[in-house]
Structure 1
Amino acid sequence: MVNIGLLIIRLAIGLTFVGHGAQKLFGWFGGPGVVKFGEFLGTIGIKTGGRTWAILAGIFELIGGLLFSAGILTWLGAVLIIIVMIDAIITVHGKNGFWLTDGGYEYNFILIAVVLGVALTGPGDYVLIYKP
């Protein structure tokens, strides 16, 4: 049952991050795409290189989510996701305190804890590439 639990966690979080990355990079799933997300970054104080940061955030989410959900280099996928979440805390949510009800970083913190926990535990037996 542990392996099924790890699979559920990896798929739910990993595929959600794939979707977020696709929103930022390609404008899929109602997302802003690179140009609009880069402009948004300018409104929150990232005045230089908004497009570059938008592309990096999208790539980290997309690749991190793919690796994490597939159970391939799970630790690297977790690191990419954690970097994006720490950035979200620093640039957007940190100033609002902890609780999500105040726009805080509660959700980002929980995601960091879960992906770090899975990275330290291991992806389980159900991964995309067979492990003998």
Structure 2
Amino acid sequence: MADIGLLIIRLVVGLTFVGHGAQKLFGWFGGTGINKTGEWLESIGIKTGAKIWATLAGIFELIGGLLFATGILSWLGAIMIVIVMIDAIFTVHGKNGYWMTNGGYEYNMVLIAVVIGVALIGPGQFVLLYKL
């Protein structure tokens, strides 16, 4: 049952990040794409290289989510997700305190804990293709 639990966690969290990456990179799923995401980053104070940061965040979310969801190099996917979440805390949510009701970083911390926990446990038995 633990392997099924890990699979559920990996699929939900990983595919959610795939979706977020696709929103940033391609404008899919109601997203804004790189240009608009870059403009938003500029509006919150990231003036230098905003489109590059938007692209990197999208790539980390998309690839990190795919790795995490499939279980292939899930530890690397977890690292990529943690990097994006730490960035979100420092650039957006940190100033609002902990609780999400105030726009804080509560949810970011939960996601960090989940992906680190899975990375430390391992992806479980249900891994796409092979287990590394």
TM-score band, normalised by the shorter chain? over 0.9
Residue 43 (1) aligns with residue 38 (2): no
Equivalent residue, structure 2, for 1:56: 56
Aligned partner letter, 2:67: L
Structure 2 residue runs without a partner (length 5+)? none
Aligned partner letter, 1:33: G
CA contact 2:72–2:130 (8 Å) conserved in 1: no
Separation in 1, partners of 2:9, 2:122: 12
- SS at 1:29's partner residue? coil
- SS at 2:29's partner residue? helix
Where do residues 16-95 of structure 1 align in structure 2 (5 Å cutoff)? Answer: 16-95=16-95
Misfit runs of 4+, over 6 Å: none
Separation in 2, partners of 1:46, 1:130: 40
Aligned partner letter, 1:46: I
Query: What is the CA distance between 1:26 and its match in structure 2?
Result: 0.1
Where do residues 112-123 of structure 1 align in structure 2 (5 Å cutoff)? Answer: 112-123=112-123
Separation in 2, partners of 1:48, 1:41: 10
Query: What is the CA distance between 1:112 and its match in structure 2?
Result: 0.1
Query: What is the CA distance between 1:38 and its match in structure 2?
Result: 0.2
Aligned partner letter, 1:113: A
Separation in 1, partners of 2:127, 2:45: 40
Query: What is the CA distance between 1:103 and its match in structure 2?
Result: 0.5
Equivalent residue, structure 2, for 1:11: 11
Separation in 2, partners of 1:30, 1:103: 21
Query: What is the CA distance between 1:10 and its match in structure 2?
Result: 0.0
Separation in 2, partners of 1:110, 1:31: 23
- What CA deviation, in whole Å up to 9, does each residue of 1:44-89 have, x standing for no partner? 1100101100000000000000000000001100000000000000
Q: Percent identity?
A: 76
Separation in 2, partners of 1:120, 1:97: 28
Query: What is the CA distance between 1:130 and its match in structure 2?
Result: 3.3
Give the superposed CA RMSD: 0.6
